[in-house]
Amino acid sequence: MPILSTTLTTLARSLLAVGLCAAASSSFALTVYTAGPEGLMKTLAAGYEAQTGVKVDYFQGTTGKVMARLEAEAANPQADVLISASWDSAVDLDKRGWLLAYESPNAAQVPAQYKAPSYVAQGLSALAIAWNPASNTPRPSDWADLAKPEYKDLVNMPDPAQSGTALELLSGLEAANSASAWSLFESLKANGMNLAGANAQALNPVLQGAKAAVFGAVDYITYSAQAKGEKVDIIFPSSGTVVAARPMMVLKSSKNQDDAKKFIDYVLSDAGQQAVADTYLIPARADVKAKRPTLVEIKALPEASAQERDGREALLKRFSALFAR
């Protein structure tokens, strides 16, 4: 009996030790919630872990899904770092006091408009027209071309209720063009433009030939498809488009704030920004070379004002009503 008792005691201690080790190991894991290319997140997680020894767990989804999960966990926060596809989400969370102020030393080469005391761009993208040259439609050069009869029922748009970048595009066009922007939206509706879920859902029918073009395609997704051999052109409209910065931020509720700061540092390092460039995003750092057209080659609409950002909820309601969503 003493031998058995001793054996059981030893086993219990061993199991307890294993449990404690597992708990200790998981306590050092960093949790990142991210919208954007999954391949990029895998690369960044692997690089960060190799450099620091800290494991990265992540949840990948659209900006809408990521923000919904963050809100659902408000009483018991799980995320340490958030990477969004919508600059508005960072502005909103900062106003609510959810973000930790941190300026990475690697952010020195990030242009001033793409960083703030509590968040900084991971990379940038621009909204474009994705056009299938085999669609038997004329090559478009501006947004209004997609409202022409040749494009009747052949245009998709990412649903701005699901895509933060699509909402930014609507907002930018409205701010730049006022009433004429709504005339364009109404013409697109009358011409049969379809709201087709998130960004990839809008693009896939164009790649397959069922549709001719995407109004407001996320350029890096389209460049990636092109690099894989898909027949698709990326056209930046002559009248201007929205440049969408993808903000990274450390949540104030994080229990791993030091590691979270180091993750931001890593993403803004040479290796991290090269990984960003490899996914056809424009790197946040101006000194890192992109693999696609950069900001100097794209006519960008003016940066959004606070008034414009505040009006986006009403804009979405009006646009959704127009398209009977």
For residues 209 and 308, membership in a common domain is answered with: yes
Domain annotation covers residue 105: yes
Mean of per-residue pLDDT scores for the chain = 90
Which residue reads 């409205």 in tokens? 174
Domain annotation covers residue 70: yes
| 169 vs 166: CA distance, rounded Å | 5
Query: Among residues 109, 103, 124, which one has the least CA distance to residue 288?
Result: 109
Q: Is 119 annotated as a binding residue?
A: no
For residues 226 and 260, membership in a common domain is answered with: no
- The whole-number pLDDT of residue 59 equals 95
**90 has a pLDDT exceeding 70:** yes
For residues 144 and 175, membership in a common domain is answered with: yes
For residues 96 and 230, membership in a common domain is answered with: no
Domain annotation covers residue 10: no
For residues 161 and 286, membership in a common domain is answered with: no
**20 has a pLDDT exceeding 50:** no
Domain annotation covers residue 5: no
For residues 205 and 137, membership in a common domain is answered with: yes
DSSP E strands, the chain: 30-34, 56-60, 81-83, 115-116, 119-131, 155-157, 194-195, 213-218, 233-235, 243-250, 282-283
Domain annotation covers residue 265: yes
For residues 198 and 92, membership in a common domain is answered with: no
CATH of the domain at 40: 3.40.190.10
For residues 269 and 311, membership in a common domain is answered with: no
Report pLDDT digits (tens) over 140-163.
999 999 999 999 999 999 999 888
> Where in the sequence is the domain holding 283, given as residue range(s)?
28-123+245-291
For residues 59 and 199, membership in a common domain is answered with: no
For residues 73 and 187, membership in a common domain is answered with: no
Domain annotation covers residue 255: yes
Q: Give the chain's domain count.
A: 2
For residues 228 and 157, membership in a common domain is answered with: yes
Domain annotation covers residue 23: no
Domain annotation covers residue 3: no
Query: Among residues 186, 196, 129, which one has the least CA distance to residue 159?
Result: 196
pLDDT tier for residue 28 given thresholds of 50, 70 and 90: low
Report pLDDT digits (tens) over 110-127.
999 999 999 999 999 999
Which residue reads 């090269």 in tokens? 274
For residues 270 and 313, membership in a common domain is answered with: no
Report pLDDT digits (tens) over 259-299.
999 999 999 999 999 999 999 999 999 999 999 999 899 99
pTM: 0.84
Pair 111, 268: CB distance under 8 Å: no
